[in-house]
């Protein structure tokens, strides 16, 4: 139990340290894809070690077969050739592209799989991860077109489609994408009212995608899609917007009620004209109303003189 408690305390301590480092930074940025990948990072090292041992044993075996013994010269030669082999034969994961420079100039893009380099001549300038990357970004206390400060968190999903451009056209494409996304978000918010930002997220997502794509396409980076994650509006403004929405709904309800009353009045006017032209129809309507009122009642009904006269006239006829 004591060990578990110590582990829990250490985890909480690391979490507090991470929060202290982030400070007031938006929490959305914690979901960013890491620059340094840890997935299968030991594979190249294991391959290089196995290659070194294999070449060393092969050269040592050849020297032993040729001279009939092992001396310091054979060991040094085996080590030198094994080191050259390690710097010559390399591997790249399936999702990785490697940009190689020769004497400082662009030579080629290699990978995935096994590729060869010339030791001390070729230089690996960039290992570009071509999987979908996530960058969280936000805009804090950004003014809308109607001068309302709001906080917006968003996420952009992107991919490196040209490793050569990502290496040669921009110094750090990862940070550049994050900065371009944040700038585009602030510009988009500044051109819209707070109501448009809150209610038209889909249109804002597409606008941000096009704006960021325009900046990053020259870096070999393609923007897949952008999603607005959260919009925080000041509480006093939320109350005002809620009151405005309530008033709008009440106004719509009253308009609908007025239209219904207008239709009913038109129908009553039409019925009045019909009854005025046909007195018998009017009296039948009187009798129908009396019948409806007495259908389910078990009590006496006092009929006015006008109703009684109507019954008498109809009976006589």
pLDDT value for 138 = 85
pLDDT value for 167 = 92
d(Cα 188, Cα 215) in Å, to the nearest integer? 15
Q: For every one of its 317 residues, what pLDDT tens digit does the chain have, with 9 covering 90 and above? A: 344 444 445 444 544 444 444 444 445 666 676 665 555 567 778 888 898 899 889 988 888 888 877 788 888 999 999 999 999 999 988 889 999 999 989 999 998 889 999 988 999 999 999 999 999 888 888 888 888 888 888 999 999 999 999 999 998 898 899 999 999 999 988 888 888 888 888 888 999 999 999 999 999 999 999 998 888 877 776 666 677 777 777 888 888 888 888 888 888 788 777 777 777 766 777 667 666 666 666 556 665 655 555 555 544 55
Domain ranges of the chain: 1-25, 38-129, 133-233, 238-316
Report residue 176 CA to chain centroid gap. Answer: 19
pLDDT value for 312 = 55
CA 299 → CA 35, 193, 293, 294, 295, distances in Å? 88, 65, 11, 8, 10
**CA 193, 197, 198, 199 torsion: positive or negative?**
positive
Q: For the domain 133-233, what is the CATH code?
A: 3.30.479.30
- Structural contact between residues 202 and 196, judged by C-beta atoms closer than 8 angstroms: no
Instruction: List CB contacts of 286: < 8 A, sequence separation 6 or more.
Output: 306, 307, 310
**pTM for this predicted structure:** 0.63
pLDDT value for 106 = 93
pLDDT value for 29 = 63
- Structural contact between residues 166 and 210, judged by C-beta atoms closer than 8 angstroms: no
């Amino acid at each position: 139990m004591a060990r578990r408690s110590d582990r829990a305390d250490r985890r909480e301590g690391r979490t507090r340290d991470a929060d202290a480092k982030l400070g007031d930074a938006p929490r959305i940025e914690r979901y960013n894809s890491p620059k340094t990948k840890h997935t299968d990072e030991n594979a190249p090292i294991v391959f290089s070690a196995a290659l070194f041992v294999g070449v060393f044993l092969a050269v040592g075996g050849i020297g032993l077969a040729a001279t009939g013994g092992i001396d310091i010269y054979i060991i040094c030669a085996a080590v030198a050739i094994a080191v050259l082999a390690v710097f010559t034969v390399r591997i790249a994961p399936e999702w990785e592209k490697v940009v190689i420079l020769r004497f400082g100039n662009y030579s080629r893009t290699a990978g995935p799989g096994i590729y060869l380099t010339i030791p001390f001549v070729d230089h690996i300038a960039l290992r570009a991860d071509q999987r979908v990357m996530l960058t969280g970004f936000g805009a804090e206390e950004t003014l809308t077109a109607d001068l309302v400060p709001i906080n917006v968190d968003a996420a952009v999903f992107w991919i490196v489609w040209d490793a050569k451009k990502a290496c040669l056209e921009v110094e750090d494409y990862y940070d550049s994408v994050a900065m371009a996304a944040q700038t585009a978000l602030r510009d988009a918010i500044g051109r819209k009212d707070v109501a448009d930002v809150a209610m038209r997220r889909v249109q804002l997502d597409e606008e941000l995608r096009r704006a960021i794509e325009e900046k990053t396409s020259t870096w070999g980076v393609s923007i897949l899609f952008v999603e607005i994650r959260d919009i925080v509006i000041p509480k006093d403004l939320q109350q005002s917007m809620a009151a405005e929405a309530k008033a709008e709904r009440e106004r719509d309800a009253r308009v609908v009620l007025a239209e219904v009353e207008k239709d009913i009045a038109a129908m009553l006017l039409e019925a009045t004209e019909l009854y005025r032209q046909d007195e018998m129809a009017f009296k039948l309507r009187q009798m129908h109303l009396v019948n409806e009122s007495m259908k389910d009642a078990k009590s006496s009904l006092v009929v006015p003189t006008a109703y009684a006269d109507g019954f008498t006239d109809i009976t006589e006829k």
